[in-house]
Amino acid sequence: MFYVKTSFGYADVVTEIHCDNVFTRCPECGSELNVDLAEVFSDGDADLESTSIICSACTKRRMTNKAVQRR
């Protein structure tokens, strides 16, 4: 079992990590995203500190901006 533990000085909160309770925020718009850690780390070339996940709307906007820039 893996878990996250946060200490508030007077109490510790322990939460088990499952495929449906891991979240992050899109670094561009701040949207909350559910993350499957097994999928993120499946290629073996990622770490928790430097990995960012961009939401589908921001990804679409990036792709549209790249297409416009190529014209």
Domain range summary for the chain, segments of one domain joined by +: 3-70
Strands in 1-71 per DSSP E: 3-7, 12-16, 23-25, 32-34
Placement of tokens 């993350």 in the chain:
35
Q: Return mean pLDDT, the chain.
A: 89
Query: Which candidate, 24, 70, 71, 29, places its Cα nearest to that of 51?
Result: 24
Quick: pLDDT tens for 37-56. 888 889 888 788 888 999 99
Q: What is the CA radius of gyration of the chain?
A: 16
User: What pLDDT, on the 0 to 100 scale, is given for residue 71?
Assistant: 67
Instruction: Please give the Cα distance from 55 to 61 (Å, whole number).
Output: 10
